[in-house]
Every structure is written in C-alpha cells, then in structure tokens.
Amino acid sequence: MHLLPENALVSGEDTVPGLISSPTGDVLLRPQLLKTTPFTLDRLTISLQPSLEKFESLLLQLINADCQNTKQPEPEDAQRTVVIQERRLHVGVHNGWCFLDKPQVVVLEPVASGVRGRADSTSKKSILVKDSSATSPCPQMLGLRSSLEIKLPNNQALAIVFQLEYVFSAPIGRETMTLVGN
C-alpha cells in the first residue's frame, strides 16, 4: 500500500486519507483507493518575501559564507562564489503520512510581476503580455514554464505540497582540476 510509509503501524480503525471508508469500519480489511480528479495548475507563480531579489541575495550570501567556512583558506583573489543554477518546484499530494504519488518536479523561471503568460487560442503558442501597471524590470516572482496536472482525490485530509529547491554551482579552481586530473 503506497498510502503509508514503510514500517508504520496502523489498525483498521485508523483513518488513512486516500482510502474509501468501509461499511464494516475496517478500512484495511479490503482497502479501496478514492477516485482521483485531474486538476491543472496554470500560470503558477511564487512570490518570496521581502522580494525575490532580496531573498536570493540573502540565500547566496549565507551559502557563500558557509562555503568559505568549510573550505581551506585561499588567497583573497582566489575565492569563488556560488551562483544559482536552477530553481525547481516539487509538487505532490500528501495525506499526512506520505505522498500518494512521487512528487512532480518542474523548473521555475524568474518573471517580472507585470509579465504574465497567455495562450493564443488559435495557434496554441504561449506569449507574454506586458501589464501597464508594472514599473519594475527586475524579476519579482518565480513562474512555471508550463502547466502542471495533478490527480487529486476528493478528501479534505489531503494537501497539495509545494517544495522549492535551489540548485547551486561554483566554479572549479585550477588546484581542484589538477587534483582531479591526477
């Protein structure tokens, strides 16, 4: 059964979100999954506080400081900085015990708050529309490149979980490349 983590002890009287209630009261006697309904998340955006730029700047400062604390001392001009390589969003349905299915992973891109996606109904091509109220050219949010489909059972005990993941990279120095080559 994929609705519970391994080695979890439950009885037939326990509520397991995602299972149909049994008339006998023992949902584990003959477990039946709830039917799912597909939902599409379109034009999903994520705003970080106080702003995307400040959040990511602080995050990079903390990561760089941590990297400098764990490395051996280097000459001042040889210090390397970590940069953001990619932003990913993990989206999945959770029942309080575990994810019902493996969470989907999508790539997020920085978007300005005044730019929103729109699909042209005749050509099915995605275009960007500039909002006249937008004054800031800097990206203010993270946006989904495409739509995302989630299958969700009709149960109030289930939740859609969004987990933001950052992928970082740092340049490799000559010393490291020499050690790897030997």
pLDDT at residue 122 above 60?
no
Residue 101 maps to a domain: yes
Query: Which whole number is the average pLDDT over 8-18?
Result: 83
Asked whether residue 31 is domain-assigned, the answer is no
| pLDDT at res. 130 | 42
pLDDT by residue (tens digit) across 102-121? 999 999 999 886 555 444 43
The reported pLDDT for the residue numbered 162 is: 96
How many domains are there within the chain?
1
Is 3 among the domain residues? no
Write the secondary structure of the chain as one string of H (helix), E (strand) and C (coil).
Answer: CCCCCCCCCCCCCCCCCCECCCCCCCCCCCCCECCEEEEEECCCEECCCCCHHHHHHHHHHHHHHHHHHHCCCCCHHHCCCCEEEEEEEEEEEECCCCECCCCEEEEEEEECCCEEEEECCCCCCEEEEECCCCCCCCCCEEEECCCEEEEEECCCCCEEEEEEEEEEECCCCHHHHHHHHC
Q: Which position has the higher pLDDT, 15 or 96?
A: 96
Containing structural domain, residue 161: 36-68+81-112+141-170
Q: Which range, 24-33, 80-89, 169-178, has the best average confidence (pLDDT)?
A: 80-89
Domain presence at residue 86: yes
In a domain, 123, yes or no: no
